[in-house]
């Protein structure tokens, strides 16, 4: 793999918390920086103490970029100002989230249907943002050609950090990747964008690298959840079974212990750990049987017994 490629951990709401990203960085590594899951500022309170704690550079092992979900420039700027006060240096406007609970409010990827609103929003933000600005978006909400009305806006405003997921919003994460449309974006944007979407193996990365040779920034989320060693493998590091196992259980135990130290951690512990296992299970042999056992756990004690058994008798991969 190319050593000059930049690898960015993508934001997955409720999953790539500071607990997860710090544990991943300090076990497997290979990540250059992270984009935090979005903050959605409200009129009565732009950003919560908990959200500020998640974003504080002092609480993160890697350089962190905040992300804001908004269609109102004033709310975006107020939240960005609060982020600056704790030391955040980079902020992203989310124009990619596809979920109906977001798009029904005219935010996320639904913004892509309205170029005039995007132009007004970005103009106000770019002029007044106290932080370095980036945008993350899809090719469109309903049509992959929607982005081509936005590229002149990005070029005119000199937006220098752009990440594109080559799907449309209504397809969520299951529709086709419009790679020809993405290639056209690369050709006409004034800056080389970052690529995001469906890179879950080293062979897939190599294929994308060959298809888009000018791209050197890659935002990856699910690939790193399915295989925690993914970023270091992209760096060319080879882990044998024993090394992977040691790092994996350190990752698991760090995340587990940090959740349980929270005042309300026990109340959502099983839900959160089962969510991680829905990805991690793909690194285990006989994963169907193990997955069923994980799902059936009803107490933390039952979960601990199961995991301790697999630490000693089952090998990841």
Q: Are 233 and 202 in contact (CB under 8 A)?
A: yes
Instruction: State mean pLDDT over 288-309.
Output: 92
pLDDT bin (cut points 50, 70, 90) of residue 314 is: low
Closest CA to 81 of 59, 97, 64, 66: 66
CATH number of 6-234: 3.20.20.70
pTM comes to 0.94
Average model confidence (pLDDT) across the chain: 94
pLDDT-derived band at 264, boundaries 50, 70, 90: very high
The model's confidence at residue 309, banded by pLDDT at 50, 70 and 90, is: confident
* DSSP result, the chain: --TT-EEEEPP-TTTS-HHHHHHHHHHT----EEEPPPB---SS-SS-HHHHHHH-GGG-SS-EEEEE--S-HHHHHHHHHHHHHTT--EEEEEE----HHHHTTT-GGGGGG-HHHHHHHHHHHHHH-SSEEEEEEEEESS-TTGGGGTHHHHHHTT---EEEEEEEGGGTTTS---HHHHHHHHHHSSSPPEEES---SHHHHHHHHHH-TT--EEEESHHHHH-TTHHHHHTT----HHHHHHHHHHHHHHHHHHHHHSTTHHHHHHHHHHHHHHHHGGGBTTHHHHHHHHHH--SHHHHHHHHHHHHHH--B-
Q: What is the pLDDT of residue 270?
A: 97
- The tens digit of pLDDT for each residue in 122-152 reads 999 999 999 999 999 999 999 999 999 999 9
User: What local confidence, expressed as pLDDT, does residue 160 receive?
Assistant: 95
pLDDT at 131: 98
For 30-46, what is the mean pLDDT? 92
Summarised one tens digit per residue, pLDDT across range 42-58 is 887 779 999 999 999 99
- pLDDT tens for 237-253 read 999 989 999 999 999 99
pLDDT of residue 315: 58
Rounded Cα distance between 94 and 190, Å, is: 20
- pLDDT value, residue 3: 62
Q: What local confidence, expressed as pLDDT, does residue 191 receive? A: 97
Provide the token pair at 304: 């601990």
Quote the pLDDT of residue 135.
98
Parse the chain into domains and list their residue ranges.
Answer: 6-234, 241-313
Least Cα distance to 206 among 14, 1, 48, 40 occurs for 1
Is pLDDT of 2 > 80? no
Q: What is the pLDDT of residue 284?
A: 78
Spatial separation of the C-alpha atoms in residues 26 and 43, rounded to whole Å = 37
Q: Read off the pLDDT of each residue in 6-12 and give the average, rounded to a whole number.
A: 97
Q: Is the pLDDT of residue 20 over 70?
A: yes
What tens digit of pLDDT does each residue of 80-110 get? 999 999 999 999 999 999 999 999 999 999 9
Q: How many CA atoms lie within 13 A of 165 on its CB side?
A: 32
Question: Which of 165 and 284 is assigned the larger pLDDT?
Answer: 165
């Amino acid at each position: 793999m190319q050593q000059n490629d930049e690898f960015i951990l993508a934001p997955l709401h409720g999953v790539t918390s500071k607990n997860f990203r710090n544990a991943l960085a300090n076990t497997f590594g290979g990540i250059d920086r992270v984009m935090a899951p979005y903050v959605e500022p409200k009129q009565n309170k732009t950003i919560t103490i908990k959200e500020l704690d998640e974003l504080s550079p002092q609480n993160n092992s890697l350089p962190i970029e905040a992300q804001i979900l908004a269609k109102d420039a004033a709310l975006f700027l107020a939240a960005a100002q609060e982020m600056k006060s704790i030391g955040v240096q980079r902020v992203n406007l989310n124009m990619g989230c596809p979920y109906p609970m977001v798009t029904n409010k005219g935010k996320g990827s639904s913004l892509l249907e309205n170029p005039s609103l995007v132009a007004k929003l970005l103009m106000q933000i770019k002029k007044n943002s106290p932080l370095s600005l980036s945008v993350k978006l899809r090719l469109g909400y309903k049509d992959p050609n929607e982005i081509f009305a936005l590229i002149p806006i990005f070029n005119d405003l000199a937006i220098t950090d752009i990440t594109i997921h080559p799907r449309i919003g209504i397809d969520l994460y299951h529709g086709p990747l419009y790679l020809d449309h993405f290639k056209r974006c690369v050709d006409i944007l004034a800056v080389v964008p970052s690529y995001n979407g469906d890179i879950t193996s080293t062979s897939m990365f190599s294929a994308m690298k060959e298809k888009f040779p000018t791209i050197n920034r890659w935002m990856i989320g699910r690939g790193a959840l399915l295989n925690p060693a993914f970023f270091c493998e992209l760096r060319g590091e080879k882990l044998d079974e024993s090394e992977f196992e040691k790092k994996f259980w350190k990752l698991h135990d760090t995340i587990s212990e940090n959740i349980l130290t929270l005042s309300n951690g026990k109340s959502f512990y099983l839900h959160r750990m089962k969510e991680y296992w829905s990805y991690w299970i793909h690194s285990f042999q006989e994963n169907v049987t193990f997955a069923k056992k994980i799902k059936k756990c009803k107490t933390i004690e039952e979960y601990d017994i199961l995991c301790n058994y697999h630490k000693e008798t089952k090998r990841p991969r």
